[in-house]
Structure 1
Amino acid sequence: MEYMLFICTDPTAPAYVAAEDNIVEWGAEMEARGVIRMATGCDLSKTQPRSRYAAAR
């Protein structure tokens, strides 16, 4: 396993502000750096670098 994702909540975190959301910019940066990997089901041997953010730009 190369990576593991943990999703946690923090009740003391500041409230989400949609106007400050920068996911498109973040996704573009990660794609430019070559760190985004998309898997096909559970077969990680077919993992390919590609981005779902390309269409958002």
Structure 2
Amino acid sequence: MSTYYKDIQIVKHALQFYIKRPDANEKDLEKEKKLLKKVENEVSNFKKSNNIK
């Protein structure tokens, strides 16, 4: 498995955890959720293009 795939998975999991923090304001959460969606799409595309299940 490539380092890039591991890196984007770490970023995805970190964002998922970070978004759940209690002191987040709505504006920040909105931006972070958009970024998380981009990262999730990147993970999905990478998995498809590299036949990772």
Asked if Structure 1 and Structure 2 have the same fold, meaning a TM-score greater than 0.5 normalized by the shorter chain, the answer is: no
Q: With CA pairs under 8 Å and 6+ residues apart, which has the higher RCO, 1 or 2? A: 2
Under a length normalisation based on structure 2, what TM-score does the superposition of the two structures give?
Answer: 0.35
Greater share of residues in helix: 2
User: Which structure has the bigger radius of gyration?
Assistant: 1
Greater share of residues in strand: 1
